[in-house]
Amino acid sequence: MNPAVSVIFFTVMSGAGFGAMAVIGAGYPIADRPLPALIACGLALALTAAGLISSTFHLGHPERAWRALTQWRSSWLSREGVMSLVTLALFSAYAFAWVFFGRRIPLLGWSASMAAFTSVVTTAMIYTQMKTVPQWRTPLTPVSYLLFSLTAGLLLVAAFSSGRVRSAPVGALALAALLCAWGMKLIWWRRAERTSLARAGSTVESATGLGYLGAVRLLERPHTGPNYLTKEMVYKIGRKHARTVRRLTLLVGALAPLLVCAAVLATSARPYWLAIAFVAFMIGLFGERWLFFAEAEHSVSLYY
**Interatomic CA distance for residues 120 and 48, integer angstroms:** 11
Q: Nearest 10 degrees: CA dihedral of 290, 291, 294, 295?
A: -170
| Per-residue confidence (pLDDT) for residue 193, from 0 to 100 | 87
| Per-residue confidence (pLDDT) for residue 236, from 0 to 100 | 67
Q: Cα separations (Å) of 217 from 91, 207, 214?
A: 55, 12, 10
Q: How far is CA 37 from the centre of its chain?
A: 24
**Interatomic CA distance for residues 108 and 93, integer angstroms:** 8
Of the candidates 282, 286, 245, 236, which has an alpha carbon nearest to the alpha carbon of residue 8?
286
**Residue 94, phi then psi, degrees to nearest 5:** -65, -45
| Per-residue confidence (pLDDT) for residue 163, from 0 to 100 | 67
| Per-residue confidence (pLDDT) for residue 104, from 0 to 100 | 92
- The separation between the first and the last C-alpha atoms of the chain, rounded to the nearest angstrom, is 13
Q: Which residues of the chain are under the pLDDT cut of 70?
A: 1, 58-68, 163-165, 201, 219-225, 227-239, 302-304
**Interatomic CA distance for residues 111 and 212, integer angstroms:** 53
In eight-state DSSP terms, residue 304 is -
Q: Nearest 10 degrees: CA dihedral of 122, 234, 188, 58?
A: -30
| Per-residue confidence (pLDDT) for residue 47, from 0 to 100 | 96
Domains of the chain: 5-302 (1.20.1630.10)
Mean pLDDT across the chain, nearest whole number? 87
Of the candidates 107, 154, 98, which has an alpha carbon nearest to the alpha carbon of residue 281?
154
In eight-state DSSP terms, residue 271 is G
Q: Cα separations (Å) of 117 from 84, 114, 121, 145, 262?
A: 10, 5, 7, 10, 27
Grouping H, G, I as helix, E, B as strand and the rest as coil, residue 236 is: coil
**Interatomic CA distance for residues 86 and 113, integer angstroms:** 11
Model confidence pTM above 0.85: yes
Residues 6+ apart with CB under 8 A from 42: 95
| Per-residue confidence (pLDDT) for residue 60, from 0 to 100 | 63
